[in-house]
Amino acid sequence: MNASVSDAVQRVYNFSAGPAVLPLPVLEQVQRDLIALPGVGSSILEISHRSPEFIDIANDAKARIVNLLSIPDTHDVLFLQGGSRLQFSMIPMNLLEEEKSADYILTGSWGKSAKAEAVKEGNVQIAWDGADCKYNRLPKQSELKLDPSASYVHLTSNETIEGVQFLHEIESGDVPVVVDCSSDIFCRPLPVDQYGVIYACAQKNAGPAGVTMVIIRKDLLARGDAELPGYLLYRNHAEADSMWNTPPTFAIYVMGLVAKWLQEEIGGLAAMEKLNREKSSLLYDVIDSNADFYVGHAETDSRSIMNVTFRLPNADVEKKFFKSAEELNLTNLKGHRSVGGVRASVYNAMPIAGVRALADFMQQFAADNK
């Protein structure tokens, strides 16, 4: 592996679901800037959020994100804090209108968590719930029970725990679609104009923990009640250009570097999607060719290209799998504590060499342990 960060440090292949792997060129840039930004003389950790230097950094990050996602002028980009869990509350607080309901599509654990917070704020209808199939597939459009008068419809684009992912858009008529893209933002081109709100905490696929990006259609900013606590009102953040309070400066800076890496080294989101599909296919091919040993959780047409989830014949074999993988520097492969099993998170920054190493290990492990 590339040892340019430090000859004394051996980097493992980190398949963590989040905080997750970051691009090595980004880490190297951070390392160079951490003591003092060029021409500034202070660390990125030290400069004021009101300084011209940081305003340039924030504006550059925003401009790169707008370029990557082809965000139209109808939408604004906000840099907030509190993670996606705060968005689970801010969405209904700002968008759920009186005497109306919100539709929620439940495709896994994070969708259920979003719904659990929304019901505290108003009326919620379940448009589809995959509980009966143990959240191993996505709904067909014809299965969605959508209210044409709903304030919005909410979905989770990628369920990290179950390993199912929307790689297409749903049809909702005139009802705004709100999507939690926390684990797959930047993994593919996204038709932003088809969404009312896109939100994503950074620590899975866009940067370090600490910043949450919200892309919101500007007309929806008017819905928020001025009686809400100030931080919870999207309109305040939009009017203050994400500086209503001190923003997470370091996390925004790194997110900007990730966006630059996607633009200049990957070649944009279409190229990133192609690479992501190639990476995930390496693992799914091993699972499918060893169906008597590896059991994938998600149905084939619902599989995530970010989080590959599967099980082995029994708990003892799984323990051996994790131990053997660790010995090869293939780390953080345990499934979420709520479901167990194996989960390989192959986010944008996971190099294909790491995925090949895991696929080769899986193939050999199956041959040795059947």
Give catalytic residue positions: 110, 180, 204
Q: Containing H/E element for 354?
A: helix 352-369
Lookup: tokens for 172: 């909702």
Do residues 152 and 178 lie in contact, with contact meaning Cβ atoms separated by under 8 Å? yes
3-state secondary structure (DSSP) of residue 185: coil
246 labelled ligand-binding? yes
Largest distance between two CA atoms of the chain = 63
Report whether 360 belongs to an annotated binding site: no
Task: Tell me how far apart the alpha carbons of residues 171 and 208 are, in angstroms, rounded to a whole number.
Answer: 32
Q: How many Å apart are CA 352 and CA 187, to the nearest integer?
A: 14
245 labelled binding-site residue: yes
| Phi, psi angles (nearest 5°) of residue 182 | -60, -35
107 marked as part of a ligand binding site: no
Residue 203, annotated as binding a ligand = yes
Is 165 annotated among the ligand-binding residues?
no
Q: How far is residue 4 CA from its own chain's centroid?
A: 28
Q: Please state, in angstroms and rounded to a whole number, the distance separating the CA atoms of residues 110 and 116.
A: 10
**N residues, the chain:** 370
CA 40, CA 33: separation in Å to the nearest integer? Answer: 10
Q: Does the annotation list 285 as a binding residue?
A: no
Q: Which residues are annotated as a binding site for L-glutamate?
A: 50
Q: Which residues are annotated as a binding site for pyridoxal 5'-phosphate?
A: 110, 160, 180, 203, 245-246
